[in-house]
Structure 1
Amino acid sequence: MKLLQLTDIHLTKPGETIGGREPNQNLQAALTHALSHHPDADGLMITGDLSDWGDKADYERLKDTLNGLDLPVHLCIGNHDERDVFLSVFPDKADDNGFVQAVVDLPVGTGLLLDTWGPDSHAGFYCETRQSWLDDTLSEVVGPVFLFMHHNPVPIGIAPMDKIMLQDADAFGQIVEKHATKIRHIFHGHCHLPLSGSLYGVPFSAPRGTNHAGWPDFGNEGNLSASDLPESYAVILADESSVMVHMVEYGYQGEIRREGSPDYADWNRLTMVR
């Protein structure tokens, strides 16, 4: 199975920039790069912050863009989104309780799309209704299960970001612990940083994002930190026994060099390009 994960696309009015970068252009560049290099992808997952200000026009433009793609596309919402505005454009994305959550069949196992949005906050929330849905769904579906969400469920050790992580992390973690043998991996966004770790033995990861980049500024107690590192997306490879996640920095503008051979016999000082 091969999945593409884009996150934090932050669509704005065309021509407007964030960190000197135009999110609409970067989304198109990410899709062009990802689909040209990975035409065999089984699905595209976009894990939140679809719009920067939750404007309806952003969601309409996103819908038009995604309608032209020849693979399944699955969406989560993030703190920059507005759930009601999003659902006015994507009404089929609402579950029975009005959350943007879904169960999707994957070539390997099952994907669960989680809604961690809450009003008037950049932090993430996972209320008792959503917790019950997740617990019940995990009990019913056939594993392995892959979770997709926006907010990080584990502190990353950077104070400003940890203030706006998933606020119901303990309750969420208890559900993960209960079903840990069934959950293969958790994919999230939100932090604009390449991250990996585990929660009750379940691995998680996040790529940087398709537009503006963060920086792991551990000494900053009050502000979020930005950088000009390349834009990225993730390529997820999974089979019945393993998961591999690549962060592809498609925004890198430098040279790509093909150096030498993987065959040990060809490694020598005369022929190796170093």
Structure 2
Amino acid sequence: MKLLQLTDIHLTKPGETIGDRDPNANFQKALAHAIHLHGDADALVITGDLSDWGDREDYIRLKEMLAPVPFPVHLCIGNHDERDVFLSVFPETSDDNGFVQSVFDLPVGTGIVLDSWGPNSHAGFYCETRRAWLATQLERLEGPVFLFMHHNPVPIGIAPMDQIMLQEAEAFGQLVARHADKIRHIFHGHCHLPLCGSLHGVPFSAPRGTNHAGWPDFGNDRNLSASDLPEAYAVILAGDNSVMVHMVEFGYQGEIRREGSPDYADWDRLTMVR
């Protein structure tokens, strides 16, 4: 099974930039790159911050951009989004409680999109109603289950980012712990950093994002930190017993060289290209 994860696309008014980068152009570039190289993907999930300011025009433009994608697309919302505005364009993504949550079949197991949005805050929230919904899904599914969400459920050790992580992390973690035998992996965004770790034994990961990049500035206790690292998305390869996650830096502009060999017999000091 092959899945694609794009995150933090931050669509905004045409011509506007974020970090001197054009988020609309970069999202289109990411889509084109992913479709060209991974047209055999089983699904694409975009894990939030679909719009930079939650404007309806951004969601309309997103719908138009996604129309040609040749595989199923599933959407999370993030702190930069506006749930009601998003649902006015994508009403089919709502669960029975009005949250942007859904369950979808995969060649290996099941995917679940989670809604960690909350009003007037950049932090993430996963209230009792949402936890009850997720618990119901996890109880009825056989597994493996792959969770997709925007906010990081584990502190990353950088103070400003940890202030805006998932606020109900302990309650969410307890729910994950009860179903750790079914949950294969958690995929999130939000931090604009390549991250990996585990929560109650369940691995999680995040790619950098398709536009502006963060930096792990552990000495910064007040501001969010940015860098000029390349834009990226994730390619996820999963089988019955394994998960492999690649971060593909599609924004890299340098040379890609094919050198060396996996054949040990070709490793020669005089002739091997290094």
TM-score, with length taken from structure 1: 0.99
DSSP-derived class of the 2:44 partner:
strand
Does the alignment pair 1:21 with 2:21?
yes
Aligned to 1:163: 163
> In 1, distance between residues paired with 2:121 and 2:84?
15
Q: Deviations over 1:17-69 (max 9, x none)?
A: 00000000000100111111111111100000000000000000000111111
> In 2, distance between residues paired with 1:154 and 1:265?
45
> In 1, distance between residues paired with 2:34 and 2:66?
14
Unaligned runs of 5+ in 1: none
Retained in 2: the 8 A contact 1:186–1:203?
yes
> In 2, distance between residues paired with 1:98 and 1:141?
22
> In 2, distance between residues paired with 1:271 and 1:146?
46
Runs of 4+ in 1 over 2 A off after TM superposition: none
Number of matched pairs: 274
- Which aligned pairs between 1:147-186 and structure 2 lie closer than 5 A? 147-186=147-186
> In 1, distance between residues paired with 2:107 and 2:192?
28
> In 2, distance between residues paired with 1:271 and 1:4?
38
> In 1, distance between residues paired with 2:25 and 2:223?
27
Does the alignment pair 1:59 with 2:62?
no
- Which aligned pairs between 1:113-132 and structure 2 lie closer than 5 A? 113-132=113-132
DSSP-derived class of the 1:184 partner:
strand
> In 1, distance between residues paired with 2:136 and 2:95?
14
Retained in 1: the 8 A contact 2:39–2:70?
no
- Which aligned pairs between 1:138-217 and structure 2 lie closer than 5 A? 138-217=138-217
Which amino acid is 1:122 matched to? H
> In 1, distance between residues paired with 2:153 and 2:260?
41
1:261 Cα offset (Å): 1.3
1:173 Cα offset (Å): 0.2
> In 2, distance between residues paired with 1:213 and 1:115?
23
> In 2, distance between residues paired with 1:175 and 1:260?
46
DSSP-derived class of the 1:70 partner:
coil
Aligned to 2:259: 259
Aligned to 2:228: 228
Which amino acid is 1:269 matched to? R
- Which aligned pairs between 1:14-53 and structure 2 lie closer than 5 A? 14-53=14-53
> In 2, distance between residues paired with 1:261 and 1:116?
45
Which amino acid is 1:101 matched to? Q
Retained in 2: the 8 A contact 1:50–1:78?
yes
> In 1, distance between residues paired with 2:17 and 2:149?
25
Which amino acid is 1:273 matched to? V
Retained in 2: the 8 A contact 1:48–1:75?
yes
Retained in 2: the 8 A contact 1:158–1:220?
yes
Which amino acid is 1:182 matched to? K
1:240 Cα offset (Å): 0.2
DSSP-derived class of the 1:74 partner:
strand
RMSD: 0.5
1:271 Cα offset (Å): 2.1
TM-score, with length taken from structure 2: 0.99
Retained in 2: the 8 A contact 1:152–1:188?
yes
> In 2, distance between residues paired with 1:86 and 1:95?
13
Q: Taking every aligned residue pair, what percent have the same amino acid on both sides?
A: 79
DSSP-derived class of the 2:210 partner:
coil
Retained in 2: the 8 A contact 1:53–1:80?
yes
> In 2, distance between residues paired with 1:236 and 1:94?
25
Aligned to 1:12: 12
Aligned to 1:239: 239
1:142 Cα offset (Å): 2.0
Aligned to 2:269: 269
DSSP-derived class of the 2:4 partner:
strand
Retained in 2: the 8 A contact 1:213–1:227?
yes
Retained in 1: the 8 A contact 2:76–2:100?
yes
Retained in 2: the 8 A contact 1:260–1:271?
no
1:121 Cα offset (Å): 0.1
Name the stretch that deviates more: 186-195 or 31-40: 31-40
